[in-house]
Amino acid sequence: RNAQSIPRTQWRFGSWTPCSATCGKGTRMRYVSCRDEDGSVADESACATLPKPVAKEECSVTPCGQWKALDWSSCSVTCGQGKATRQVVCVNYSDHVIDRSECDPDYIPETDQDCSMSPCPQWTGLAHPFQNEDFRPRSDSPSRTHVLGGNQWRTGPWGACSSTCAGGSQRRVVVCQDENGYTANDCVERIKPDEQRACESGPCPQWAYGSWGECTKLCGGGMRTRLVVCQRANGDRFPDLSCEVLDKPTDREQCNTHACPQDAAWSTGPWSSVRT
């Protein structure tokens, strides 16, 4: 009888609520209660000896952002095998860059890849390995500065510029060859053509922004916006991805966050006495 007199209690719990976030991480909850043997709600102390089920936990749904890969860079070499790289950013559904933690790290696109250019020249006795503005056959009376004892400097075509703006560099192959096209070692070093030169395609665009607009609320927290564009100093506009997307100034912010005053209302005082 003593054993039967000990109340039998247990924890019971309901279904989980939907996740509080529609994307990314949120929380979900469920009702947990201590019940006696009749199923009635009991004080939680009656279930203190039993492990209590979790009533609140973190939940995850689909990531809030998605990866966006920018254009590949030029190949790192002008001939043979090299590498190309690109920037990968996390953006929301409005195409605004957000923190990388909002995207799924298991599905980030590749940021570098192998690239193949035309085979590098092999000096196997070809008389004219490169045909461009810097090469002149001996029969056309080339400049004496390029010829000494039958040897001369010969150049390949310029490679791609290393930058699309704000100054880059480009390279080319320069070799010393004899009159038969074989590699030689005694060309005049002081007149060797440049292997590298600067290339300029104009200044890089920068972020520019206007003044903040009116707040959407006078109190209680509203929003205000401003125009943020990627442009050069002369006003020419470019797509956002032409500027450093991670440094883009915010185009919206909260404003007038102070509490609103209580709504006005009529109040009544006591009735005055009526004099007859």
**Model confidence at 254: pLDDT above 60:** yes
Q: Cite the beta strand spans of 14-150 per DSSP E.
A: 25-29, 32-35, 41-42, 56-60, 66-69, 81-85, 88-91, 112-116, 147-148
Q: How far apart are CA 232 and CA 207, in angstroms?
A: 8
Whether residue 81 sits in one domain with residue 50: no
Residues 212, 190 share a domain: no
Using CA atoms, how far apart are residues 81 and 85, in angstroms rounded to an integer?
14
Name the domain count of the chain: 4
Please indicate, yes or no, whether residues 143 and 195 belong to a single structural domain of this protein: yes
Q: Whole-model pTM?
A: 0.33
Residue 6 lies in a domain: yes
Report yes or no on 239 lying in a domain. Answer: yes
- Same domain? For 18 and 54 the reply is yes
Residue 78 is part of a domain; what is its CATH number? 2.20.100
| 150-160 tens-digit pLDDT | 788 888 888 87
The verdict on residue 86 lying in a domain is yes
Q: Within this chain, do residues 85 and 105 fall inside the same structural domain, yes or no?
A: yes
Q: Is the pLDDT of residue 137 over 80?
A: no
pLDDT (average), residues 43-48: 90
202 has pLDDT over 50: yes
Residue 269 domain-assigned (yes or no): no
**24 & 55 share domain:** yes
Which helix H or strand E contains 4, and what residues bound it? helix 2-5
pLDDT in tens, 97-108: 888 888 878 888
39 and 86 together in one domain = no
Residue 265 lies in a domain: no
Residue 273 lies in a domain: no
264 found inside a domain: no
Could you tell me if 29 and 15 are in contact, meaning their C-beta atoms sit under 8 angstroms apart? no
Predicted pLDDT at 99: 82
- Over the stretch 58-96, which tens digit does the pLDDT of each residue have? 887 777 788 888 888 888 888 888 888 888 888 887 778
| Beta partners for residue 11, in sequence order | 34
- According to the model, what pLDDT value does residue 33 have? 92
Which helix (H) or strand (E) element contains residue 228?
strand 228-231
* Full residue range of the structural domain in which residue 24 is found: 2-60
